[in-house]
Chain A
Amino acid sequence: MLNFIQGLGHSGLTFFQRLGRAHILLGHIMAGLPSMLLRWPLIIQQLYYVGVLSVLIILVSGFFVGMVLGLQGYNILVDFGAEETLGVMVSLSLVRELGPVVAALLFAGRAGSALTAEIGLMKATEQLSAMEMMAIDPIRRVLTPRFLAGFISMPLLAAIFSAVGIIGGDFVGVGLLGVDEGAYWSQMQASVDLYDDILNGVIKSIVFGVVVTWIAVFEGYDAIPTSEGVSRATTRTVVHSSLAILGLDFILTAIMF
């Protein structure tokens, strides 16, 4: 029993220590932002690795999620004779919830884990130490552009996800199940609000982008510099970001909608 309490206290302490270090790191990353904005080639390079390389998985998943929504939505709505509103259902589910959340989960798995592994390996192979000895701050040079790229990419990826999902819903609902095409799109236009729905969705995805990239770069930078440490950090990135996304999604939804 005593051991249990002791263990609990210990892991609690470790947790708060790590949380503290993560915040200090975030401050340090932020301090590097102004000078980094002038070095756009670095940011573009990272936008490619973090964002562009995630586009394919976002496109494919978005399309499938949209098709499933079309199918499920149709089966539910047709019982009420309301299949005309399929477009509204698909688009609101995507823009408000599934777009930001699923895109962020995929982003954590694809880009977040890659960021952690890359930074962790740079630490393990002393590349970060070598930079320090060359009088170059590794946090500003390595972490800041990656953080910025994640922050920019996430809302764009979520938007792509939602757009492709709506097309997927159209493909199943209109193309295969015979919902009226005009109704699908015009009902959607009439009911989706720019501020209430789209903007709030975008805010969600920005928050998710910051949190996932923050967790990813922190785990990489804080990793124990061995191959085992890096692989554990990579796993932690995916687990912690997924939990953070789902938890924050609930909080944000409760506040915004």
Chain B
Amino acid sequence: MTDTSTTTPLVEIRNLSFARGDRMIFDGIDMDIERGKVTAIMGPSGTGKTTLLRLIGGQIKPLTGSIKVDGIEVTKLSRSALFQLRKRMGMLFQNGALLTDMNVFDNIAFPIREHTQLSEKMIRTLVTMKLQVVGLRGARNLMPSELSGGMARRVAMARAIALDPMMIMYDEPFTGQDPISLGVLVRLIRELNDTLGLTSIVVSHDIKEASSISDTIYLLSGGKVVAHGSSKALHESGSEWAKQFMNGLPDGPVPFHYPAIDYAEDLLAAGNK
């Protein structure tokens, strides 16, 4: 199901293919990330969700196809133009990826200091505001090693919005969180998106959380987009893929087994050794 909106999408992916060695990770996928919306990207482990974020960020180049971010073709950018574009993108890595030799304050100040000539006083004000948004103003002097996983992700969020980007990409922000911290992160992602006018891409395994915050969901599997639409539409859709994933069934179109030779043959081969 496609709903045509009036504005052009912020991220437009057309016919994207990417391979690691001989393995096709993506095989001609199309995707639109709408402006101002939260889009969830879901799929089984190893389908290339992280890879997709890296492709959008221009860290790796696709085999074929086009990726446009805010109308700019990422795949053809020079390094310096890419860096200009990245200043307008925030990315949250799976474990936060905070710089371990700096405290919380300096971590958030880091991109501001690197990219602007603002005075220390100004930076202090800005960082304090970002810390207030994620509720960690009191933790500004802690080192990353002193933070819990959930706190580290919130600090990383504050750092991702330090330069007021137009979009943020979250790589599995919910894994390994207790229910409370999970609730906090869910609320934060939605709030940041709506109050700062961002566009958010959330990669996740968590069906419940992802469907509760996202406006649109893309289901990836086997190098293809197997279903997309609002979470309600996916829940009600007749597609086998959507059914398996949304209901967490162990077997279905996504096989439980990694591709292998026939089981009986495998056992016989072992017997012949």
Contact = CB atoms under 8 A, between A and B. Distances in A.
B110 A133 contact: no
Contacts of A127: 97-100
A127 B86 CA distance: 16
Contact of A133 (B84, B91, B94, B115): B91
Given A125-B97, A127-B99, A136 B59 contact: no
A219 to B, nearest CB: 19
Contacts of B59: 129, 132-133
Nearest to A128: B97
Contact of B86 (A121, A125, A135, A141): A135
Interface residues of B, number: 21
B114 interface: yes
Contacts of A135: 83-84, 86-87, 111, 115
Interface string A114-133: 00000001100111011011
Contacts, number: 47
Contacts of B111: 134-136
A125 B95 CA distance: 8
B89 interface: yes
Contacts of A125: 95, 97, 100
Contacts of B159: 134
Contacts of A129: 59, 93, 97
Given A133-B59, A141-B114, A126 B97 contact: yes
A143 to B, nearest CB: 14
A134 B95 contact: no
B48 interface: no
Nearest to A132: B59
A24 B172 CA distance: 34
A31 to B, nearest CB: 12
Contacts of B90: 133
B150 interface: no
Given A133-B57, A134-B159, 4 more contacts: A133-B89, A134-B114, A135-B86, A137-B83
Interface of A: 121-122, 125-127, 129-130, 132-137, 141
Interface of B: 57, 59, 83-84, 86-87, 89-91, 93-95, 97-100, 110-111, 114-115, 159
